[in-house]
Amino acid sequence: MNTKRIVITGGPGTGKSSIINDLIQRGFTCLEEISRDIILEAQKQGIDQLFLTDPLLFSEQLLEGRKQQYTEASLLNTEPVFFDRGVPDVVAYMDFKGEGYPQHFMDACRDCQYDYVFILKPWQDIYTSDNERYEDFGQAMQIHEHLLNTYQKYDYKLLDVPFETVENRTNYILKTLNLL
Protein backbone atom coordinates (compact mmCIF):
# COMPACT_ATOMS: atom_id res chain seq x y z
CA MET A 1 0.00 0.00 0.00
CA ASN A 2 1.26 3.46 -0.91
CA THR A 3 0.20 5.33 2.21
CA LYS A 4 -1.07 8.87 1.66
CA ARG A 5 0.82 11.22 3.96
CA ILE A 6 -1.09 14.37 4.88
CA VAL A 7 0.46 17.23 6.84
CA ILE A 8 -1.50 19.67 8.98
CA THR A 9 0.80 22.65 9.55
CA GLY A 10 0.72 26.27 10.66
CA GLY A 11 2.34 28.54 13.16
CA PRO A 12 1.90 28.14 16.90
CA GLY A 13 -1.63 28.37 18.26
CA THR A 14 -3.46 27.94 14.95
CA GLY A 15 -5.55 24.92 15.97
CA LYS A 16 -3.49 22.09 14.46
CA SER A 17 -3.62 19.87 17.53
CA SER A 18 -7.37 20.38 17.89
CA ILE A 19 -7.88 19.16 14.32
CA ILE A 20 -5.51 16.23 14.88
CA ASN A 21 -7.46 15.30 18.03
CA ASP A 22 -10.73 15.50 16.08
CA LEU A 23 -9.30 13.25 13.36
CA ILE A 24 -8.21 10.75 16.03
CA GLN A 25 -11.72 10.83 17.52
CA ARG A 26 -13.08 10.02 14.06
CA GLY A 27 -10.81 6.99 13.79
CA PHE A 28 -8.07 8.34 11.52
CA THR A 29 -4.40 7.52 12.08
CA CYS A 30 -2.47 10.59 13.21
CA LEU A 31 1.14 11.10 14.19
CA GLU A 32 1.16 13.84 16.78
CA GLU A 33 3.51 16.78 17.25
CA ILE A 34 6.76 15.72 18.91
CA SER A 35 8.33 19.07 19.74
CA ARG A 36 6.51 19.29 23.08
CA ASP A 37 8.07 15.97 24.12
CA ILE A 38 11.55 17.29 23.26
CA ILE A 39 10.86 20.53 25.16
CA LEU A 40 9.55 18.71 28.23
CA GLU A 41 12.51 16.32 28.23
CA ALA A 42 14.93 19.26 28.07
CA GLN A 43 13.06 20.98 30.91
CA LYS A 44 13.56 17.86 33.05
CA GLN A 45 17.29 18.40 32.43
CA GLY A 46 17.05 22.04 33.51
CA ILE A 47 16.87 23.66 30.05
CA ASP A 48 13.82 25.91 29.98
CA GLN A 49 13.55 26.40 26.19
CA LEU A 50 15.91 24.16 24.22
CA PHE A 51 14.98 25.82 20.91
CA LEU A 52 16.05 29.20 22.31
CA THR A 53 19.13 27.82 24.12
CA ASP A 54 20.44 25.55 21.35
CA PRO A 55 18.28 25.82 18.21
CA LEU A 56 20.42 23.44 16.17
CA LEU A 57 20.39 20.67 18.80
CA PHE A 58 16.62 21.02 19.26
CA SER A 59 16.08 21.02 15.49
CA GLU A 60 18.34 17.99 14.96
CA GLN A 61 16.25 16.03 17.50
CA LEU A 62 13.04 17.26 15.92
CA LEU A 63 14.23 16.42 12.40
CA GLU A 64 15.14 12.88 13.44
CA GLY A 65 11.76 12.43 15.11
CA ARG A 66 9.86 13.72 12.08
CA LYS A 67 11.89 11.50 9.73
CA GLN A 68 11.04 8.53 11.97
CA GLN A 69 7.35 9.46 11.80
CA TYR A 70 7.58 9.66 8.01
CA THR A 71 9.07 6.16 7.85
CA GLU A 72 6.63 4.84 10.47
CA ALA A 73 3.69 5.94 8.30
CA SER A 74 4.49 3.31 5.65
CA LEU A 75 4.61 0.59 8.30
CA LEU A 76 1.20 1.42 9.75
CA ASN A 77 -0.72 -0.15 6.87
CA THR A 78 -3.50 2.42 7.19
CA GLU A 79 -4.79 4.95 4.72
CA PRO A 80 -4.30 7.90 5.08
CA VAL A 81 -1.88 9.04 7.81
CA PHE A 82 -2.11 12.60 9.14
CA PHE A 83 0.94 14.39 10.55
CA ASP A 84 0.88 17.26 13.05
CA ARG A 85 3.64 19.14 11.18
CA GLY A 86 6.08 17.82 8.59
CA VAL A 87 9.82 17.75 8.02
CA PRO A 88 9.88 21.18 6.25
CA ASP A 89 8.55 22.80 9.45
CA VAL A 90 11.98 22.25 11.01
CA VAL A 91 13.67 24.29 8.27
CA ALA A 92 10.99 27.00 8.43
CA TYR A 93 11.54 27.45 12.17
CA MET A 94 15.32 27.61 11.74
CA ASP A 95 14.86 30.26 9.05
CA PHE A 96 12.52 32.16 11.39
CA LYS A 97 15.20 32.00 14.09
CA GLY A 98 17.85 33.15 11.59
CA GLU A 99 20.00 30.10 12.31
CA GLY A 100 22.06 28.15 9.82
CA TYR A 101 21.66 24.41 9.44
CA PRO A 102 23.44 21.55 7.68
CA GLN A 103 22.64 20.30 4.19
CA HIS A 104 20.94 17.17 5.56
CA PHE A 105 18.02 19.34 6.73
CA MET A 106 17.30 20.29 3.12
CA ASP A 107 17.95 16.73 1.94
CA ALA A 108 15.35 15.49 4.43
CA CYS A 109 12.81 17.98 3.03
CA ARG A 110 13.40 16.55 -0.45
CA ASP A 111 13.46 12.91 0.71
CA CYS A 112 10.31 13.05 2.85
CA GLN A 113 7.61 14.01 0.39
CA TYR A 114 4.01 14.40 1.56
CA ASP A 115 0.93 13.97 -0.59
CA TYR A 116 -1.05 16.91 0.80
CA VAL A 117 -0.21 19.86 3.02
CA PHE A 118 -2.98 21.78 4.77
CA ILE A 119 -1.90 25.06 6.34
CA LEU A 120 -3.64 26.99 9.09
CA LYS A 121 -3.19 30.76 9.23
CA PRO A 122 -2.59 32.52 12.54
CA TRP A 123 -5.93 33.24 14.18
CA GLN A 124 -5.75 35.81 16.95
CA ASP A 125 -9.14 34.79 18.42
CA ILE A 126 -7.84 31.35 19.39
CA TYR A 127 -4.16 32.16 20.02
CA THR A 128 -2.83 31.45 23.51
CA SER A 129 0.65 31.03 24.96
CA ASP A 130 1.54 28.18 27.31
CA ASN A 131 4.51 26.53 28.99
CA GLU A 132 5.95 25.18 25.72
CA ARG A 133 4.79 27.97 23.38
CA TYR A 134 6.88 31.09 23.92
CA GLU A 135 6.01 32.99 20.71
CA ASP A 136 3.68 35.98 20.68
CA PHE A 137 1.07 36.50 17.95
CA GLY A 138 3.39 38.71 15.86
CA GLN A 139 6.00 35.96 15.86
CA ALA A 140 3.29 33.45 14.93
CA MET A 141 2.59 35.59 11.85
CA GLN A 142 6.31 35.59 10.94
CA ILE A 143 6.51 31.81 11.40
CA HIS A 144 3.49 31.42 9.11
CA GLU A 145 5.36 33.31 6.36
CA HIS A 146 8.42 31.08 6.82
CA LEU A 147 6.21 27.98 6.61
CA LEU A 148 4.64 29.24 3.37
CA ASN A 149 8.06 30.00 1.87
CA THR A 150 9.62 26.71 2.93
CA TYR A 151 6.82 24.44 1.72
CA GLN A 152 6.59 26.36 -1.57
CA LYS A 153 10.36 26.05 -1.99
CA TYR A 154 9.87 22.27 -1.99
CA ASP A 155 7.05 22.53 -4.57
CA TYR A 156 4.06 21.92 -2.34
CA LYS A 157 0.64 23.26 -3.23
CA LEU A 158 -0.60 24.47 0.15
CA LEU A 159 -4.27 24.05 0.99
CA ASP A 160 -5.59 26.83 3.26
CA VAL A 161 -7.90 25.70 6.05
CA PRO A 162 -10.58 28.35 6.73
CA PHE A 163 -11.29 29.90 10.13
CA GLU A 164 -14.17 27.79 11.44
CA THR A 165 -15.10 25.47 14.27
CA VAL A 166 -12.81 22.49 14.78
CA GLU A 167 -15.49 20.17 13.37
CA ASN A 168 -15.94 22.30 10.24
CA ARG A 169 -12.20 22.64 9.74
CA THR A 170 -11.80 18.88 9.98
CA ASN A 171 -14.74 18.39 7.62
CA TYR A 172 -13.11 20.78 5.13
CA ILE A 173 -9.91 18.71 5.15
CA LEU A 174 -11.77 15.41 4.80
CA LYS A 175 -13.99 16.76 1.98
CA THR A 176 -10.92 18.06 0.14
CA LEU A 177 -9.43 14.55 0.37
CA ASN A 178 -12.73 12.91 -0.68
CA LEU A 179 -12.90 11.15 2.69
CA LEU A 180 -16.24 12.64 3.77
- Residue 112 banded pLDDT, cuts 50, 70, 90: very high
Written as one letter, the residue type at 6 is I
Q: Going from the N-terminus, what domains does the chain have, and what CATH number goes with each?
A: 5-176 (3.40.50.300)
pLDDT tens, residue by residue, 57-79: 889 999 999 999 999 998 888 88
pLDDT tens, residue by residue, 122-159: 888 776 665 555 678 888 899 999 999 999 999 999 99
The neighbouring-strand residues paired with 120 are: 10, 161
Residue 52: what pLDDT? 73
Beta strands in the chain (DSSP E): 5-10, 29-31, 81-84, 116-120, 158-161
Q: Which long-range contacts (CB under 8 A, 24 or more apart) does 163-169 make?
A: 163/121, 163/123, 163/125, 166/15, 166/18, 166/19, 166/22, 167/22, 169/15, 169/19, 169/22, 169/120
Indicate the pTM of the whole model. Answer: 0.90
Residue 158: what pLDDT? 97
Residue 129: what pLDDT? 63
Residue 1: what pLDDT? 54
Say which range, 95-99, 118-122, 123-127, 162-166, has the weakest mean pLDDT: 123-127
Q: What is the mean pLDDT of the chain?
A: 90
Distance in angstroms (rounded) separating the CA atoms of residues 45 and 69 = 25
Hey, how many other C-beta atoms are within 10 angstroms of the C-beta on 30? Answer: 20
